[in-house]
Structure 1
Amino acid sequence: MTQLFDQPLKVVNAGLASFADNLRLAGGEVIHLAWQPPALGDIEAGLDLARLLRHPLVERANETAFARYLEAQPVLVDIVTASDAIGAMREGKRILHSGPPIAWEAMCGPVQGAVIGAILLEGWAADHDAAARLAASGDVALEPCHHYQAVGPMAGIISPSMPLFVVENRANGQRTYSNFNEGLGKVLRFGANSEEVLQRLRWMKATLAPALKAALRVSGEIELKPLMAQALHMGDEVHNRNSAATGLFIKRIVPALLGTDLPLSQIREVCAAIVGNDHFFLNLSMAACKAMMDAAANVPFSSMVTVMARNGVNFGIRLSGTGEQWFQAKANPVEGLFFPGYGVDDAAADLGDSAITETAGVGGFAMASSPAIVKFVGGTPADATANSRRMQSITLGGNPAFTLPALNFAPTAAGIDARKVVDRGILPVINTGIAHKKAGVGQIGAGITSAPMECFVAAIRALAETVQRQDGTAS
């Protein structure tokens, strides 16, 4: 013992960082482990988690859900209006928004502004004030895109006359939908609703959508999974960077456009719009990821996360094993790079359905394939790689269809396991745009955020209850 105390002090500290600081001041060499109790220290949730770990019902369910996710083959098959794609859009006045359910009065500025713009686009009100009164009256149903197998970036707005991409999972025949990407600047998805914004939306309906529909008849269906995989090898992560994916889509669609009998002037307009918008493919990526995650949904007892979405106020997740139930918590702020003149005080909280890409194992999970993304969202290429590696700790496996050259072509981590998130204290990483908190200002930056742990703790409690009921029935 005397010899032990004569040796230099080397300590591994787990818990409060202040203990490590005191040891360093005393001259000791300290390795501090960033550890905290699982489930945010909630004892009952921790016990529920312990019951679910290695539970045979959950393990078998996760194998089934993950296999269905891997088998999904999303294909772009058509362009249709929302009212044609979604039957409920033909019933009364209905507008879909991003994230979990939220009432009009609780919505953030960009979503309220976008809802007003959609009401004006549909002709349900004569001016902005009348549109706001109509939205507040309750005469317009405001529901999540996810409730109708749809997704939309940022505010996520889909109204009856808007054209949608139709993506079909060839493995099971299920369809998913997304609106069109408007580009940057003053756009509806950031809450802008001026006449300029509405005119662009009308042009998309009258000119862009019919042209893409005609081109698809010439090209035939477009498989999205191989296109996304190739884009990952070209520097995209198909969430915040879509330059390569948009370019690959252009290679498919432009020859098809030229093969239609459309007027050359219309083809030129459409090509200019797509070529001038590097983010055009984002909405296709989202619809494809939604198709993959819907394939894994509704497997009883599975702890696999099938939805992550934000409405600018709350962050919500869904588990495969708990069906349509949302688990919500206050949305986290986004840490990143701001455009000149803007800062944290100007930003809305995390917003949009685009986290479906991370849910499917791309986006922030695939940042190792896109070192240039750090110029947009902040950090270093090493940080991007570390994020991709860390996500391997909270997932059920990897997706061999999506590989990362920087990690020796390892598959992207995929199949977020809520049990592992709660047990290991590692949250899913999400890279995202930052919207101004006021409607219509637009994007003011981009950065990195994560889902709140409270969502996953609540999901574990609910899943444990369903498993316990089954165990009680079986006994």
Structure 2
Amino acid sequence: MSLGQLLSAPPAIVAAGVDVFSDALRAQGADVTDVDWRPPGFGDPADLAALALDPRRAVANRTAVERLMAAGSQLVDVRPAREVLGLPDRTLLHSGPPLTWDMASGPMRGALIGACLFEGWASTVEEAEKILAAGEITLDPCHHHRTVGPMAGVTSPSMWMWCLSDPVNGGRAFCNLNEGLGKVLRMGAYNEEVLTRLAWMRDVLGPILSRAVRDPIDAGADPLDVKAVLAQMLQMGDEGHNRNRAGSLMTLRELSPAIVEVDAPASDIAAVLKFIGGNEHFFLNLGMPTAKLAMDAARDVPGSSMVTVMSRNGTEFGIQTAGTGDRWFTGPANTPVGLFLGDYGPEDANPDIGDSAIMETYGVGGFTMAAAPAIVRFVGGSVPDALATTERMYQLTLAENPAMQVPILGFRGSPTGIDVLKVARTGWLPQINTGMAGRVAGTGQVGAGLVQPPQECFEKALAALAEESRAAA
């Protein structure tokens, strides 16, 4: 059809939405085709209206975002969990919302078994399973102790912890030390290799790192600015969750002069440097408590619809919001989709697990995939997918964080501050980059991929926030 024919022909009109527009056109003799289309959002319309019309919301969200962005992160110590957390004997922390042994997934059970063997509470796998099933071991989420743990996140009293401090808000946050990749406790493995490594981390790595961190500070040096390292990583091809190469190397550069000054056998010093240098995810366990410090600073802001926690325990996914404090809103964890190691396949992968989604909650990781296009070689997808993901996340968030810039987007600040209302209105869910643990206890890592929270978490949070808005009216 030529342009002249197109303009001379009767108009063909397609209308979507309310009937007022199409009815008016029909009244004028026009031929109108109605399409039953509506925004792909979710939630009770009354709840959406209550939250959207809450007069406190704009100021509350601005307050939460300002606290988040102002938060700093300094590495001030390395200490055993029993000292810095007051973690008593026969108590284990885990990732995600609360769980029991009965509901624990394969990798979570494997990590809990391994921790009992490591602590000497059991001498065999069967004995560990027995005391866990009998409730003789107390289980509690890491998040209840200002702590985060990747994957299973299991933390026992003897494990050494990174201790980070927020110099602006005075908060503290903690995370255990990263074991590396493959068959590791956090992925649910608990064989002799895993237990031997954990013992070495307890007896050698932890004490040396403690001195390397504390001695310079005691001598008057400034603590390591971990937030600054995280910001630099995004300029160097990392996204801060599944890709931490640059961050781990920068951390090694900053700590190595103090490590070699520690009064310890040369063989131990060499082993520590080799371990850090060969562990591309070493920084992750520093980045996570950095994000935790920022999100904790934004807690307890009445009227705010900003998400402060996204976390999963291998069975359930849970979120918390600034306006509802410590309440968990949970749903069944989805299984990641991505790339697999060796002969593993989708049937081997456990549902989503780990506190490491605190990185996306902070606005990096899956939210800054555009800063690390090479990540798609590890988690799947394409470079255009990485760029599109970051662009989409801006539609779900309240602000752009100028401290966390994305070079390929003209150094635009990362999308920061997930808004429950925006998630519900768009129907889009946050994107998370993650590792995949084997479904069967003892397997270890089987791959890495992409995953989203279940919509149910946000539906429950929306309803709770709306209820709180009505109560405050």
TM-score (norm 2): 0.91
Match of 2:398 in 1: 396
Q: Are the equivalent residues in 2 in contact too, given 1:219–1:252 (CA < 8 A)?
A: no
Match of 1:455 in 2: 457
For residues 5 and 111 of structure 1, the distance between their equivalents in structure 2, rounded to whole angstroms, comes to 68
Match of 1:464 in 2: 466
Match of 1:183 in 2: 180
Match of 1:110 in 2: 107
Q: Are the equivalent residues in 1 in contact too, given 2:188–2:437 (CA < 8 A)?
A: no
Amino acid at match of 2:441: A
Q: What are the residue-to-residue correspondences of 1:246-325 with 2, within 5 Å?
A: 246-325=248-327
Amino acid at match of 1:224: V
For residues 413 and 240 of structure 1, the distance between their equivalents in structure 2, rounded to whole angstroms, comes to 18
Match of 1:75 in 2: 74
Shift of 1:461: 0.6
Q: Are the equivalent residues in 1 in contact too, given 2:188–2:438 (CA < 8 A)?
A: no
Structure 1 residues 434 and 34, CA gap change in structure 2 (3 angstroms):
farther
Structure 1 residues 33 and 280, CA gap change in structure 2 (3 angstroms):
farther
Match of 1:25 in 2: none
Deviations 1:262-286 (A, max 9, x none): 3222110100000011011111111
Match of 1:375 in 2: 377
- What is the alpha-carbon root mean square deviation over aligned residues? 2.1
**Runs of 5+ consecutive residues of structure 1 not aligned to the other structure:** 15-29
For residues 104 and 34 of structure 1, the distance between their equivalents in structure 2, rounded to whole angstroms, comes to 45
For residues 289 and 77 of structure 2, the distance between their equivalents in structure 1, rounded to whole angstroms, comes to 12
For residues 13 and 374 of structure 2, the distance between their equivalents in structure 1, rounded to whole angstroms, comes to 39
Q: Are the equivalent residues in 2 in contact too, given 1:218–1:259 (CA < 8 A)?
A: no
Q: Are the equivalent residues in 2 in contact too, given 1:231–1:245 (CA < 8 A)?
A: yes
Q: How many residues align?
A: 449
Structure 1 residues 224 and 35, CA gap change in structure 2 (3 angstroms):
farther
Q: What are the residue-to-residue correspondences of 1:365-444 with 2, within 5 Å?
A: 365-444=367-446
Per the alignment, in what secondary structure is the counterpart of residue 96 of structure 1? strand
For residues 311 and 287 of structure 1, the distance between their equivalents in structure 2, rounded to whole angstroms, comes to 18
Superposition misfits of 4+ residues, deviation over 4 angstroms = 2-14, 32-37
Match of 1:334 in 2: 336
Match of 2:242 among 240, 243, 254: 240
Amino acid at match of 2:58: E
Structure 1 residues 51 and 124, CA gap change in structure 2 (3 angstroms):
same
Match of 2:365 in 1: 363
Q: What are the residue-to-residue correspondences of 1:19-34 with 2, within 5 Å?
A: none
Shift of 1:424: 1.1
For residues 57 and 129 of structure 1, the distance between their equivalents in structure 2, rounded to whole angstroms, comes to 54
Per the alignment, in what secondary structure is the counterpart of residue 197 of structure 1? helix
Shift of 1:340: 3.1
For residues 358 and 262 of structure 1, the distance between their equivalents in structure 2, rounded to whole angstroms, comes to 38
For residues 33 and 434 of structure 1, the distance between their equivalents in structure 2, rounded to whole angstroms, comes to 40
2:138 maps to 1:135: no
Amino acid at match of 1:339: L
2:256 maps to 1:231: no
Structure 1 residues 101 and 34, CA gap change in structure 2 (3 angstroms):
farther
2:192 maps to 1:195: yes
Amino acid at match of 1:38: G
Match of 1:21 in 2: none
Match of 2:41 in 1: 38
For residues 335 and 380 of structure 1, the distance between their equivalents in structure 2, rounded to whole angstroms, comes to 14
Shift of 1:38: 2.6
For residues 366 and 338 of structure 1, the distance between their equivalents in structure 2, rounded to whole angstroms, comes to 22
For residues 209 and 456 of structure 2, the distance between their equivalents in structure 1, rounded to whole angstroms, comes to 42
Match of 1:206 in 2: 203
For residues 12 and 246 of structure 1, the distance between their equivalents in structure 2, rounded to whole angstroms, comes to 54
Shift of 1:307: 0.2
Shift of 1:352: 0.6
Match of 2:52 in 1: 53
Deviations 1:215-247 (A, max 9, x none): 113443111111111111000001000000001
For residues 41 and 212 of structure 2, the distance between their equivalents in structure 1, rounded to whole angstroms, comes to 52
For residues 38 and 406 of structure 1, the distance between their equivalents in structure 2, rounded to whole angstroms, comes to 30
Per the alignment, in what secondary structure is the counterpart of residue 321 of structure 1? coil
Amino acid at match of 1:179: N
Structure 1 residues 161 and 12, CA gap change in structure 2 (3 angstroms):
farther
Shift of 1:54: 4.5
Shift of 1:296: 0.6
Per the alignment, in what secondary structure is the counterpart of residue 323 of structure 2? helix
For residues 336 and 453 of structure 2, the distance between their equivalents in structure 1, rounded to whole angstroms, comes to 11
Structure 1 residues 10 and 384, CA gap change in structure 2 (3 angstroms):
farther
For residues 62 and 157 of structure 1, the distance between their equivalents in structure 2, rounded to whole angstroms, comes to 33
Q: Are the equivalent residues in 1 in contact too, given 2:54–2:303 (CA < 8 A)?
A: no
**Runs of 5+ consecutive residues of structure 2 not aligned to the other structure:** 18-32, 218-222
2:348 maps to 1:346: yes
Deviations 1:132-186 (A, max 9, x none): 0000111111111111111111110001111010011111211111011111121
Match of 1:66 in 2: 65
Name the % identity. 48
Per the alignment, in what secondary structure is the counterpart of residue 38 of structure 1? coil
Shift of 1:55: 2.2
Shift of 1:5: 10
Structure 1 residues 34 and 230, CA gap change in structure 2 (3 angstroms):
farther
Q: What are the residue-to-residue correspondences of 1:168-179 with 2, within 5 Å?
A: 168-179=165-176
Q: Are the equivalent residues in 2 in contact too, given 1:378–1:447 (CA < 8 A)?
A: yes
Match of 1:125 in 2: 122
Q: Are the equivalent residues in 2 in contact too, given 1:219–1:253 (CA < 8 A)?
A: no
2:132 maps to 1:151: no
TM-score (norm 1): 0.91
For residues 430 and 147 of structure 1, the distance between their equivalents in structure 2, rounded to whole angstroms, comes to 22
Q: Are the equivalent residues in 1 in contact too, given 2:183–2:194 (CA < 8 A)?
A: yes
Per the alignment, in what secondary structure is the counterpart of residue 124 of structure 1? coil
Amino acid at match of 1:186: K
Amino acid at match of 1:64: T
2:83 maps to 1:84: yes
2:149 maps to 1:160: no
Shift of 1:46: 2.2
